[in-house]
Amino acid sequence: MKKKNGQLLQGNEAVVEGALYAGCSFYAGYPITPSTEIAEVLSVKLPERGGTFIQMEDEIASIGACLGASLAGAKSMTATSGPGFSLMQELIGYGVISEIPMVLVNVMRFGPSTGLPTSPSQGDVMQARWGTHGDHPIIVLTADSVPETFEMTVKAFNFSEKYRIPVILLLDEVVGHMREKITIPAEGEVKVVDRLKPEMPPEWYAPYADTNTGVPPMAAFGDGYRHHVTGLVHDAQGFPTAKPEEVVSGMDRLFSKISRGFSEVCITEELYCDDAKTIILSYGAAARSARDAVETMRADGEKVGLIKLKTLWPFPKAALEKYEKSVENIIVAEMNRGQIYREVWRVARGRWQVGKALAPYGNMLTPDMILDVARKVTK
Amino acid sequence: MYKEIRLAGSGGQGLITAGVILAEAAIAGGHEAVQTQSYGPEARGGASRADVIISDEAILYPKARKFDIFLALTQEAYDKFRGDLAPGGLLIIDSDLVDPAGDRGAKAVPITAAVKKNFGERMPPNVMALGVIHGMMPLVAERKLLDTVKNRVPQKSVDKNVKAFKMGIKMGKAFVDQPAAPSNDADL
């Protein structure tokens, strides 16, 4: 339904629209508030387009089904919230080491455990980075509005396809459930990336060989390219290896294929940063309050700017380092006990005073809570 | 224009749908609008609320803080979600179900009773409530609201809802014409 002035959609519905726009044809999941609308709407829309929707027996099976579908060539997605995200952790690592593209949406709610069902929180930021065991790269994106949720969902698919890695879209209850205006781009207006397929004869195909981008082409099961898939560390052919030189080169490639793309993957937005002495850094729903606070302080003549993170991991530290000389204070505004605050403090290495405006008890961070902290700093 | 509206009642009264209708009509009318709601176990059966903000500029903080309109259809919702009114703000309560406990200038309208009397026990009061609000403080063009109501309510109850909406407008207008208390009505 196209409307001249745009349409009213929920954040979770924008995930659906973004996924379909990006070419998602497979969804497996287990419903949980505040992510349920994603499954609900896709259960109607995917079959209509010849795609597959499966409600699985639990979240472990859900991510497993998505990885399998992706190996068979489908762009696949699952969505969950805190407790389900915990269950999915092991197979995120399987997707990373086997280099299987997929999108995992976690609409965060207050935890740990059942927590406050289902009050807003941004408490899964570090879990998204390090929840699965072992050293591993990961891409985690976020959004602060309904249109941005659409945009970042498409990006999540694009990055997962381009870099052959599971991408986590980390939303929060406020953004997932909020309804606001969105105009869905026409087909072709936003770039959609598909995974690179092998063109060499099947007998030459090495599914985990190094390439000039570090990302090997990916054959779908059934394409005629026989290959082995395993969670064990493997050689270029996909067979288990423990030879130090093969382990080192394989694991190094796993990291470097992402680090080579940092400039594309690390997405931020800035407002009034050029002459700012104080920067408020925020993301997700909290970034709406942060911008509100920044506008209020600018109206009062304070030299305050905003950096909004749209990528959480890899952490976009270059966006901060640009202001090494001009900025004195960075205040991190988030809805947890300071997960990104600690990361900023680590990156700061004493170059800036780092403060925090937190909402750690299941409420949305308000502009006033940020102003209270920021005004003390700028005084 | 910048207006914050909170619609409060109990689960099943359709107030979230009413919030969605209001926001959707505002967008159709070329405004910005954001709709949020309370989400918790209490949303099923207990007190629930929908917030709508309508503005001509980008809306940042998405929850209502100072209400231009606060509508309460149950006592529990009134007690739980009553907050500060903006200057000239409008407090609308169901006259049979909510005791405003001395709140000056509350517009007490028998919304639930009128819905039951005219449309039966199973009809939710949400669309008539939208009519009442529109009668007292029009926020969006009436035609946009009516079109949105027709799109959003179940197909078989469109006629009933259109009637309820129009009846609500009349009831709301009557209150503006004959104010119950001489408070801020000059602003309306």
| Domain architecture of chain B: domains with CATH | 2-187 (3.40.920.10)
Q: Which two tokens stand for residue B24?
A: 């959707």
- ipTM, two decimals, is 0.91
Distance from CA of A285 to the nearest CA of B (A): 8
Beta-bridge partners for B59: none
Q: Are B62 and A174 an interchain contact pair (Cβ–Cβ within 8 Å)?
A: yes
By CA distance, what is A146's nearest residue in B?
B34
Say which residue the tokens 């001395």 belong to: B102
Q: Which residues of A touch B23 (CB under 8 A)?
A: 8, 179-180
How many other C-beta atoms can be found within 10 angstroms of the C-beta atom of residue A299?
8
Strand ordering across the sheet containing A7-10: A7-10, A179-182, B32-37, B47-55, B2-10, B67-72, B85-94, B107-109
pLDDT in tens, A97-133: 999 999 999 999 999 999 998 899 999 999 999 999 9
Chain B contact present for A288, CB below 8 A: yes
Chain B contact present for A369, CB below 8 A: no
3-state helix, strand, coil in chain A (%, to 5): 40, 20, 40
User: B178 falls in which pLDDT band (50, 70, 90)?
Assistant: low
pLDDT in tens, A281-323: 999 999 999 999 999 999 999 999 999 999 999 999 999 999 9
Chain B contact present for A226, CB below 8 A: no
A181: nearest CB among B32, B37, B63: B32
CA gap A336, A119 in Å, rounded? 12
Q: Which residues of B touch A11 (CB under 8 A)?
A: none
Q: Half-sphere exposure (CA, 13 Å, Cβ side) for A184?
A: 22
User: A262 falls in which pLDDT band (50, 70, 90)?
Assistant: very high
A34: nearest CB among B32, B39, B41: B39
What secondary structure letter does DSSP report for A178? -
The helix/strand/coil state of A372 is helix
User: A residues 174-193 near B, CB within 8 Å?
Assistant: 174, 177-181
| Domain architecture of chain A: domains with CATH | 7-182 (3.40.50.970), 269-378 (3.40.50.920)
By CA distance, what is A292's nearest residue in B?
B60
B35: nearest CB among A6, A173, A179: A179
CA gap B188, B176 in Å, rounded? 8
User: A residues 304-363 near B, CB within 8 Å?
Assistant: none
What secondary structure letter does DSSP report for B29? T
pLDDT for B106 beyond 80: yes
Q: Which of A32, A34, A171 is nearest to B39 (CA)?
A: A34
Q: What's the predicted TM-score (pTM) here?
A: 0.94
pLDDT for A232 beyond 80: yes
Q: Which residues of A touch B53 (CB under 8 A)?
A: none
pLDDT at position A1 is 45
β-strand A52-55 against B67-72: which pairing, if any? unpaired
The helix/strand/coil state of A99 is coil
Say which residue the tokens 């302080």 belong to: A297
